[in-house]
Amino acid sequence: MPATDLPVTDLPVTDLPVNILVMVHGISPEPLPFSPEPMYGAFWRSLQCHQPILGDRFPQGYIGVSWGQELPKPGRPPLIDLRPDQCLTRAQNFINQRTSYEQIKAAPDPNSKLLEWGGDRSIDFPWYSPIVRGLVANLREQTLIQGVGDAIYYCSRDGEFYIRRAVYGQVLSQLDDYLEAKEVRLHLIGHSLGVTLTHDFLYGLFAPNHRPDYYRQAEEANALRFERWRAKAERGELKLGSLTSMASQLPLFALRRQVLVDQLAAGQLLDGQMIGLRPDVEPRPGQPDRHPEAALSPDTALSSGGGSMQAIQWQLFYDVDDLLAFGTRRLYDQPSRIREVQVDTGDNPAKAHVNYWENRQVIAQTAALLLATTA
């Protein structure tokens, strides 16, 4: 199908920038069918509470993406009715049912040997070892199988294929109305594995001299859409407005491609321009090279009227109690375009990973970034 056969908008062409907001969830520990839409809606309402003008900046609202999670439906749909990526929930549940320690204990078998009281290794030392073991088992089975399992799936060829089909397709299918706009700014919000998905989406759109893998992964119509948006980016008509990342795992995912392994092994930083960041801010003659966070306190950064506010395009949030969140900013060579904020989302590692969407600091500073980058 030629590109000209794609839907054409009847909306009037405007010289004003069009701002598009996209939200992409990440790893979910939920064992039951789950829709991210209530979470997205609550986050969007909270953003508007902090910055009411955002409703005018994004009059169309947001694009909420769902992937890797079976959605709630009456009854239990047969597998044939699910997308391949949505089968992940049932697969992880089945693995847990067969391999969790509680299930192993509940299914005695002569070929399954457990520690017994009275045996040579029956006494734990120190006394609290069983408590620690219980916490570790719960963390391993909930966070790792239900969480890291998603990441392992995406690192596989099949997983990348089906997840990108689902995620990219949901976004591209809602962008047709803006193909003729003179300037479109993308504002992406990603959490956990959603950070990697938004990063990969932007890389496919903005990296020069690159043929995206998505061209062979997508259905024909979406491959053509992606090609048109990539051409729009090359003409300067599509820009990265802002990128918000919560619980980034990019330092780990940077190791999935040999070209990146070689680059990092040589001590070379990653180029943020490949995902649409503008070149790093140059210091004015006679002035020191200041990073925005050096000029603004955490309470006023991105919400004051200072010029440094306009420099930030990418803002990351992490909690050190979150086992699946990593500092990311120092891997990139545009330090003045990237701001990284440590937050407190909870002391329980599993809960800390999923609480970013409700964290006040995340909400307030995300709203401030969106306000600054849509002006």
Rounded to the nearest 10°, the torsion over CA 165, 168, 172, 173 is 40
Domain presence at residue 35 = yes
Among candidate residues 154, 237, 132, the one with its CA nearest the CA of residue 201: 154
pLDDT at position 137, please?
60
**DSSP symbol at 53:** T
Domain presence at residue 17 = yes
| pLDDT at 232 exceeding the cut of 70 | yes
pLDDT at position 291, please?
36
Strand arrangement of the beta sheet that strand 63-65 belongs to:
63-65, 18-24, 184-191, 238-246, 314-318, 338-342
* C-alpha radius of gyration, the chain, whole number: 23
Domain presence at residue 97 = no
- Encode pLDDT of 238-291 as tens digits: 999 999 999 999 999 999 999 999 999 999 999 999 999 999 865 444 444 333
- Encode pLDDT of 169-220 as tens digits: 999 999 999 999 999 999 999 999 999 999 999 999 999 999 999 999 999 9
| pLDDT at 297 exceeding the cut of 50 | no
| pLDDT at 296 exceeding the cut of 90 | no
User: What is the Cβ-side half-sphere exposure of residue 229, based on CA atoms within 13 angstroms?
Assistant: 32
Domain presence at residue 338 = yes
Characterise 9 by phi-psi region: left (phi > 0), alpha (psi -120 to 50), beta (else): beta
> Which is more confident, 298 or 133?
133
pLDDT at position 96, please?
86
| Burial class of residue 249 (count of CB atoms within 10 Å of its CB; 0-12, 13-18, 19+) | buried
Domain count along the chain: 1
pLDDT-based confidence at residue 104 (cuts at 50, 70, 90): confident
pLDDT-based confidence at residue 115 (cuts at 50, 70, 90): confident
- Encode pLDDT of 34-81 as tens digits: 899 999 999 999 999 999 999 999 999 999 999 999 999 988 999 999
pLDDT-based confidence at residue 30 (cuts at 50, 70, 90): confident
Range of the domain at 285: 3-75+147-373
When mean pLDDT is compared over 109-113, 145-149, 278-282, the highest value belongs to 109-113
- Global pTM reads 0.86
pLDDT average, residue stretch 78-87: 95
Domain presence at residue 127 = no
The two structure tokens encoding residue 141: 């089975």
Domain presence at residue 117 = no
| pLDDT at 294 exceeding the cut of 70 | no
Token pair 């699910």 is at which residue? 82
Domain presence at residue 104 = no
| pLDDT at 299 exceeding the cut of 50 | no
What CATH code is carried by the domain that includes residue 299?
Answer: 3.40.50
- The string of DSSP letters for 233-292 reads HHTTSEEEEEEEEES--HHHHGGGSHHHHHHHHTTPPB-GGGGTPPPPPPPPTTS----H
| pLDDT at 20 exceeding the cut of 70 | yes
pLDDT at position 2, please?
37
Whole-number percent of the chain with pLDDT over 70: 80
pLDDT at position 117, please?
64
Domain presence at residue 123 = no
